[in-house]
Amino acid sequence: MSDPVSTETRGAVAVIIVDSPPVNALGHAVRSGIAGALSELNDNGTVKAVVIRGGGRCFSGGADIREFGQPPKDPMLRDVCALIEDFPKPVIAALHGTAFGGGLEVPLSCHYRVADRSARLALPEVKLGIVPGSGGTQRLPRIIGARRALDVILSGDPHGAAEARELGILDHLVEGDLTAGAIAFAETLLAEAAPLKKVRDLPVTDAAPEVFEAARKIWDRRSRGLLAPNACIDCVEIAATEDFDTGMAREREIFVACRDSDQSKAQRHLFFAEREAAKVKDVPREIEKRAVNAAAVVGCGTMGGGIAMCFAGAGIPVTVLETTQDALGAGMAKIEKNYAASVAKGRLAQSDMEARLDLISGTIDYADLGPADIVIEAVFEDMDLKRTVFGELDRVMKPGAILATNTSTLDVDAIADATSRPGDVIGTHFFSPANVMKLMENVRGRASAPDVIATVMALGKRIGKIPVLVGNCDGFVGNRMYHRYTRQAYFLLEEGALPGQVDKVFTDFGFAMGPLAVGDLAGLDVSYRIRQRQKRDLAEGERWPLIADRVCEAGRHGQKTRAGWYKYEDGSRKPIADPEVERIIAETSAELGFERRGISDQEIHERCFYALINEGAKILDEGMAQRAGDIDTIWTNGYGFPVARGGPMFHADHVGPAHVHERLSHWADVASPALEPAPLLEKLAREGGKFGDL
């Protein structure tokens, strides 16, 4: 195996090349290699400057994930960064591709930084529940000022080369060959006898106290109890108020405290779970995927329009079908309005809006969809309607086109049976608003072809989604689980709880909204229609949530009627407790024969959250999800499960499957037989296993 770090000398400039595929992770061998190369070059009298660059497709993706949780090995990355900064000759970082996390902290310790146009820079540690731990919070503010550094560190998002140059992170953009450009830059520095720019010696600008006060105010609202954002703010403030060595010591202390927290463990779990979710166990990675150069969407309502925007955002031309010219015009106007709102908020350039609108065309003729490589049906959630649409698509779409349904609960196989090519049919469940929400729950039908599955999973990433493959059952994974815990919430209302108490248990746990407030937002008539379909398959003796039907049948459909589980004032989305709902609840309890009783918050928590976990166990046992992490990815990205808890199955492992089993057994005996523990949960409890080990 070749050394991951090599050195080439070109005149007076040496080039240190990190070549450790696939992402030049900064593992022990790479760190030792850089330190060793610097030691040799320090003693080389002919070398007057050093360039550090990555081999292959990027500079560095950051830390080596194989070292997560392992005892640290010297030299630590912070030590390597100190060696670079203290090197007596100019050191220039030459960046291309990704320079993330530690892969950016190394360049920040260099005296100068150059990049080609492909470079993308980020400090994404906040998304893992930690702070940058090798000087990122101390050096970046010294380079670009505290305010800008906070924006970069707290977002965790990548910045392109041009933007990084504008921010001041980069000193120069290289056109053409990166190595040649970096060497030329180094030779210019030598010719001009340019000083060594030690970042540690620079002052932190734009660091008034109100900068940090404003950041805390914003992130206290955005982060909903996450530790890492405020820890990052603390670190940058320390950089502004303490000397460099003190700041580095405090950064390390804060990093370790964050790293060892339950929150960071949960967020790191989700980081890896999202990447695993993209892998399909029985579809080879090398399978040839179908080309997707043009798309079509049936329906230009809220969902269809949002899906069209996803394609346009990825540069894929898309044709949208509606039944009438008026409906099409209204849908296209809504798309333009959404783009205009993004422009007004500074999230999208006017030129980008115009370019995306140019990629979206409309029609009322199915024949115009024929040339598309994939068509996504996004019509009303009605089986007969969807089968009619797929019959038309079967008639007009070219051979090899992928026929996808955006159904959220319906049988994908029954929809595929309306065509002569079920192998080309798959579910693509987007979440509303589709142009914003990241999750894409892809549903494999009985006949879905492997290359169709692979193509749609890859397409999900291409259009900026987090794709997860699930099996075909009622509600798939996300909604099937959602219906289980909302049903328990309804039962608790019938037995003695009130909406505000139930929802508060959820918000106290970390959700932005409780299930009843969510129902009002989505529309209670939507869930009502789904329940009426599900009611046809109700097992004999199975309890039905009558209270949910009674509220909807009273004309209370949620925020759109200004009355649902709560009432709403005109122009406001703030839920207000409504005595009328309490009256309906009390009457329904009496109708069902319940003597209302006091319900504790603990009972609400256990019956709702453990019902969620229990259904997840059934889903895993049935093979409807490939792995527990897939369920966690779905729930944190599509249903608002707090990332600090890691998802329902991770949370189950945290509290212990045996505890969940014991509490479900208790509630199944005294309150709700539907909470009888799943066989897989019983097995894990008996054997001391965890969902994460499956």
- Name, in order, each residue with C-beta under 8 angstroms of 434's C-beta and a sequence gap of 6 or more: 303, 306, 307, 309, 310
Domain with CATH 3.40.50.720 in the chain: 295-470
Four-residue CA torsion sign, 635, 641, 644, 646: negative
* Rounded-to-integer distance, Cα 441 and Cα 153, Å: 30
Strands 318-321 and 402-405: unpaired
Q: Which residue has the tokens 């004999």?
A: 540
Output the six-digit token pair for 31: 């760190």
The residue among 518, 462, 471 whose CA lies nearest residue 313 is 462
What integer pLDDT is reported at residue 1 of this predicted model? 55
Residues of the chain with pLDDT under 50: none
* Rounded-to-integer distance, Cα 659 and Cα 649, Å: 13
For the packed helices 657-670 and 601-622, what is the interaxial angle rounded to 10 degrees?
110
For the packed helices 628-638 and 601-622, what is the interaxial angle rounded to 10 degrees?
130
- Name, in order, each residue with C-beta under 8 angstroms of 181's C-beta and a sequence gap of 6 or more: 94, 114, 116, 172, 174, 175
What are the residue ranges of helices labelled H in 314-428?
Answer: 325-344, 350-359, 383-396, 412-416
Count of alpha carbons within 13 angstroms of residue 539, beta-carbon side: 4
Determine how many CB atoms are found less than 10 A away from the CB of residue 689: 16
Q: What is the mean pLDDT of the chain?
A: 96
Distance of CA 528 to CAs 274, 303, 405, 553, 604, Å? 32, 19, 21, 9, 22
CA 15 to chain centre: 37
Domain with CATH 1.10.1040.50 in the chain: 478-693
Domain with CATH 3.90.226.10 in the chain: 5-259
Element spanning 374, H or E: strand 374-377
Annotation: CATH topology of 5-259: 2-enoyl-CoA Hydratase; Chain A, domain 1 (3.90.226)
Count of alpha carbons within 13 angstroms of residue 642, beta-carbon side: 23
Distance of CA 515 to CAs 179, 523, 632, 674, Å? 55, 12, 18, 19
* Rounded-to-integer distance, Cα 636 and Cα 655, Å: 18
* Rounded-to-integer distance, Cα 667 and Cα 279, Å: 37
* Rounded-to-integer distance, Cα 472 and Cα 232, Å: 42
* Rounded-to-integer distance, Cα 428 and Cα 447, Å: 15
- Name, in order, each residue with C-beta under 8 angstroms of 565's C-beta and a sequence gap of 6 or more: 499, 516, 517, 519, 520, 524, 551, 556, 558, 575, 578, 581
* Rounded-to-integer distance, Cα 465 and Cα 468, Å: 9
Torsion of CA 232, 234, 240, 242, to 10 degrees: -120
SS (H, E, C) 85-107: HCCCCCEEEEECCEEECHHHHHH
- pTM beyond cutoff 0.85: yes
CB 157 within 8 A of CB 205: no
Element spanning 479, H or E: helix 478-495
Count of alpha carbons within 13 angstroms of residue 119, beta-carbon side: 32
Cα-Cα end-to-end distance for the chain? 33
* Rounded-to-integer distance, Cα 655 and Cα 160, Å: 41
**What CATH number labels 295-470?**
3.40.50.720
* Rounded-to-integer distance, Cα 639 and Cα 514, Å: 11
CB 33 within 8 A of CB 20: no
Q: Which residues pair with 113 in a beta bridge?
A: 93
Whether residue 22 has a cis bond before it, omega within 30° of 0: yes
CB 120 within 8 A of CB 160: yes
Q: Which positions are catalytic?
A: 105, 125
Tens of pLDDT, residue by residue over 642-679, are 999 999 999 999 999 999 999 999 999 999 999 999 99
Judge: domain 478-693, CATH 1.10.287.70. Answer: no
> CA angle, 146 as apex, 145 and 148 as ends, to 5°?
75
What integer pLDDT is reported at residue 224 of this predicted model? 81
